[in-house]
Amino acid sequence: SPLLEVRGLTASVKETGQQILAGVDLTIREGEIHAIMGKNGSGKSTLTKVLVGHPHYEVTGGTILFKGEDLIDMEPEERSLAGLFMSFQAPIEIPGVSNFDFLLMAVNARREKSGLPALGPIEFYSVVSPKVDALKMDPKFLDRNVNEGFSGGERKRNEILQLSVIGADLALLDEIDSGLDVDALEDVAIAVNGLLTPQNSVLMITHYQRLLDLIKPSYVHIMENGKIIKTGDSSIATQINEGGFKSIALV
């Protein structure tokens, strides 16, 4: 079965009942890179949040299978332990928890699930340190509290550090390119590409061709009004880049 299979997914804002997702179909197989593009407000971020079980949204119809298992009944933490990773468009701060401790806890939770012994701090430092270097981050950054007082670019790098340390079968990357300068974007893209194996998949949301030049998608989807209305190869992204969304023939 595919890694992720979404069928007829509808979802609403829990508090108001306002429908945002209006029947999303999406299939992601192992080793594939998917990109979702679409105008602001089309529901891209909501789709990724619903996939990870964000509490603000309620699934009102359809199915989500991850590795053949029904995701909808799983808690966000269980989804994460099952191999789903999300970088938030606006990552949250976790007061009082250092980056190092956060990463160590996340890694040990996964090791425990796989029946592996927990790593101690010294052992773990030797795992995490080369990854910090690869992302050209200051090692002091590991002692800082998660996301507290980080610049936009630091937050994005930190999300990718989390992904590269924790690992994921499917990484959902929501606008990792926003707020990154060209050099930072390149570092992030190298890190993401370094994580890709024939088993790992990525779903990335972006407005920009430049990210798709660095992380080459197998499929590009266009989202509008809570649905995926077109799917094609990376030439769609080039077309949008040159002529805007209006240049895409939608049937």
Percent helix, strand, coil in the chain (nearest 5)? 40, 30, 35
Task: Kindly state whether residue 42 participates in binding ligand ADP, applying the rule CB under 6 A.
Answer: yes
Largest pairwise CA distance in the chain: 56
Q: In the complex with Mg ion, which residue's Cβ is closer, 45 or 80?
A: 45
Task: Kindly state whether residue 46 participates in binding ligand ADP, applying the rule CB under 6 A.
Answer: yes
Phi-psi region of 229 (alpha: psi -120 to 50; beta: other; left: phi over 0): alpha
Q: Residue 12 binds which one of Mg ion, ligand ADP, none, with CB within 5 to 8 A depending on kind?
A: none
Of 43-51, 139-147, 162-170, 238-246, the window that binds Mg ion (rule: CB under 5 A) is 43-51
Task: Kindly state whether residue 45 participates in binding Mg ion, applying the rule CB under 5 A.
Answer: yes
3-class DSSP state of 96: strand
For tokens 């425990």, the residue is 112
CA 205 to each of CA 29, 130, 159: distance values in angstroms, whole numbers, following the listed order: 17, 27, 15
Task: Kindly state whether residue 55 participates in binding ligand ADP, applying the rule CB under 6 A.
Answer: no
Task: Kindly state whether residue 206 participates in binding ligand ADP, applying the rule CB under 6 A.
Answer: no
In the shown chain, the binding pattern of residues 3 to 32 toward ligand ADP, with x for contact by CB under 6 A and - for none, equals ----------x----x-x------------
Interface residue list for ligand ADP (CB under 6 A): 13, 18, 20, 38, 40-46, 56
